[in-house]
Every structure is written in C-alpha cells, then in structure tokens.
Amino acid sequence: MRTITPRTMRSLFTIGMLVSAIGAQAQIGINATGALPNSSAMLDLNSTTRGLLVPRMTGAQKSTLGGTAAEGLIIYQTAAVLDDPDGYWYYDTDLLPVPGWVHASINQPWHWGGNTGTVTGTNFIGTSNNQGFVMRTNGVERMRLTTAGLVGIGTITPAEQLDVVGAVLVNNTAATNNAGVIRFNAATGAHEGNVDGTANWYQLENVFMKERAQPYMSDPTPACGYAASVALYPTIDNPAFPATTMVGTIETPYSRFWEDGRHQYLYQASDLSSLGICPNTNIIGAGFSATAGGGAAIANTQLSMKNTTNVAWPTLDPAGWTVCHTAASFTPVAGWNMHNFNVTPFQWNGTWNVAVEFCFNQNSWTSNVGVNAETTNYTAMYGIYCDACGHQFIPGSATCFISSCPSVRQFRTGGVPAPVTATPTAAACLPPVH
C-alpha cells in the first residue's frame, strides 16, 4: 500500500512509481502526514482543513442520469423541489418497483429536534407494510396502532377505536358543544356528556345514595291519574292513521238525518295501553269531538261499551254490552261532547280490544252533526239507521238501512277520575270518544 504526500508528488517519475504501486496494493491514502491508509479502505482521505466534494447538480440534471447511472453512484442535489429534497442521493438498481435515486436520509428516523421540508401525504411516522405501529418508553410497549386503525393503550389487542386498560382522566370544564363530548364540571364535581350539539349537558354519574338493608314501602297497584279538564283527557290518535271527519248517516254517532240510529266503533287494546289506561279501573265517561254544534236535540241517547276479542267490526254486535250512559235529550256542541257515565262505569280488562256503541230513538229528523276521526287499516265501525222503527236499538226489517263503511277512528278517553271520549273512523268508520 502507498501514501501520497506533497513531497512524493514532485516528479513524473515518482508518480509513475506510485501508480504501479497502487495497482499492486489496491489501496490509496491521501493525507499530509504520510500515514498509511486504513486496511479496510481502498481510498482513505485524511484532513482537518478540507473535505470531499462530490458532483453537484439540480434535480432535473440528476433525473437525466437515470437508466445509465451505476449502482451506488453518489451526487449532491443543490436545490429542493416539492417532495424532491436537496442533499446527498445515491442510485439503487434494486429499488422496487423500478430502479431509481434514493435520498441518503429519506429512510432515516425523524430527528429529535424535528424535521424540515416535510410534505403532508408523503412524509409520515408509521409502517408501510401490513404491521402495526408500536410506541415504547424504556423498552416497554406503551401504545399500539393496529393495521385496522384501532388504538390500544396498555393493551396489545385493542377491540375498539380506542381501548384503554386503566383510568381516563377528564378534568376540564371548558369544552365544545358537540354531541358525544365528555367533560368534567368543576362547579358540580361531576362528569357531563353532550348529546345534542347544544349547550345542554347531562350529568353521567347518578346522584342517589346507596342504602342497604333498609325497609321500604311501595304501592302494589299503580295509581291511574287523569287530568281534571276535558282538554287534557288522553286521546287515541294513532299517528299512522290519517285524520278525517265523519258526517254520513252510517258513520257519525250524531246522525240526526234519520229518526233512529245505532253505531258501533272498535278501538284496539294498544290504543288504550299506549295512553297509560289502567286495566280493571273505572272509566266514568266518554265523548265525541263534533265538528259543529247546535240545532235540534237528539232524544233518548244511550252509550255502551264492551271488551271484545274482535280485531275487525264487519257486522252489528247486539249482545254483551255494558250500558254506561243514558239521556232523554242531548244537543251536540262544537268540540268535545262528554257523556259522563250515569248508569254503570266501564273497566277495560287490559288485554282485549274495546267497542263503544252510541244509540238514539226520536220522532223527528234534521241534519247530521259530523265528528272528527281517523282512517284505520282495519274495519272499525258498523252503523244502522231507520225512521219510525218502533224500537230504539233494533230497526224494523222493511224501513231500516244497514251498512258498514271503511275504518275511521279517533278515540279520546279518561279513566279514573276522568271521563272517556270517542270519535268515528273511515276505513270502517269510528267516531272520537273521550
């Protein structure tokens, strides 16, 4: 091996000797001290005042070398362009999917003091293969991001978007009004959650004290409380059924266009249970919501009710009724017309459907009074009428007209202590009751 110094390069003869020696030894040392090159190096440069200067070029000039560049060729790019940074580059013929230039520091760890020249969407911390990303301190795993995007803290197998083994501290009252946000309210000492994106926050912890082995009292029969005013009586009004009115003689309970009438309406058990009507509890009144009022009085009225297993009302049901209310004379008014039970209260059994019947018998006729109703998806009413039938509830065979119509109904009811109200329907026809 040979060392080149300023003194050994004074004559062409000496240079010739050196080249010959280089060929034999295959090592070169360039320095000002005469030191031999390191045994592992083919070229050993040693200086405290100068460095090695590799070829310098732009990114465009570098790209023209692609395809002809040799494996390991090194250049220095003088200017950065977007995601093509300046610095040292080497050519890699084994690069996939095609050979190309590799920045000398592109695959190095992120710097402790941060990085410059980063491009969002290009530079990242993480993995580029199908492996999770693990963060450690003191050699121990603390957090993991799986290939499915699940974050685990204290667990290597997170099962949710964020899976924490341990407690989570939330201690700041300040928070945005976004649904799903959780905060700690320092004023109340409780955690709160936002559910609607407004300033309404709901406390997460319950405020009840735990009491053990303490006596308690309860009412085994829930009380059925109803409003005292007619306007607040519960009303059956199924939102699935469109609203309508019933004016026809077959439909409306107040069918004054004929002297005698009998109308039966079917209401579902679900109608009563959805309103909180208690089974086996007295219902003491019913009423229909009239669209108009006034005119001639209706004579000899009777309202009856019954529990029934019928799910439709295709024909007249003559038996098993509980007579609840009678009146010698009644004049309808616009709005709810209450028929407070003055004979017998009625009790729903809590399981079956309920039928309401309204009848009358008079010696004259005038115009009908319509009632509010809703069109049902089942046959919900049956009506008959006649003139001079000679009986309040059974029409004569020759002079009476018997018919059914599509179900329509609206039902308004009060239990104890309030009355019940009923309304007709159109797909079979039901008047409102309360």
CA distance 354 to 267: 5
Distances (CA, A) of 70 to 2, 55, 58, 73, 96: 28, 14, 18, 6, 16
> Domain extents for the chain?
2-45, 56-103, 230-423
CB atoms within 10 A of CB 430: 39
pTM value is 0.45
Contact 299, 250 (CB under 8 A): no
Lowest-pLDDT range of 57-61, 93-97, 206-210, 257-261: 206-210
> 244 Cβ partners below 8 Å, 6+ apart?
372, 373, 374, 375, 408, 425, 426
pLDDT digits (tens, 9 = 90+) for 220-236: 554 555 555 666 677 77
CB atoms within 10 A of CB 396: 13
CA distance 86 to 352: 86
Token representation of residue 26: 């295959």
Query: Is it the case that residue 314 has pLDDT exceeding 80?
Result: no
User: What single letter denotes the amino acid at residue 140?
Assistant: V
User: What is the SS3 assignment for 23?
Assistant: helix
pLDDT digits (tens, 9 = 90+) for 143-200: 999 999 999 999 999 999 999 999 888 888 888 888 888 888 888 888 888 888 888 8
Confidence of residue 274 (pLDDT cuts 50, 70, 90): confident
CA distance 94 to 98: 8
> 431 Cβ partners below 8 Å, 6+ apart?
246, 251, 252, 253, 263, 265, 288, 358, 371, 373, 381, 409, 410, 422, 423, 424, 425
CA distance 276 to 232: 14
User: What single letter denotes the amino acid at residue 113?
Assistant: G
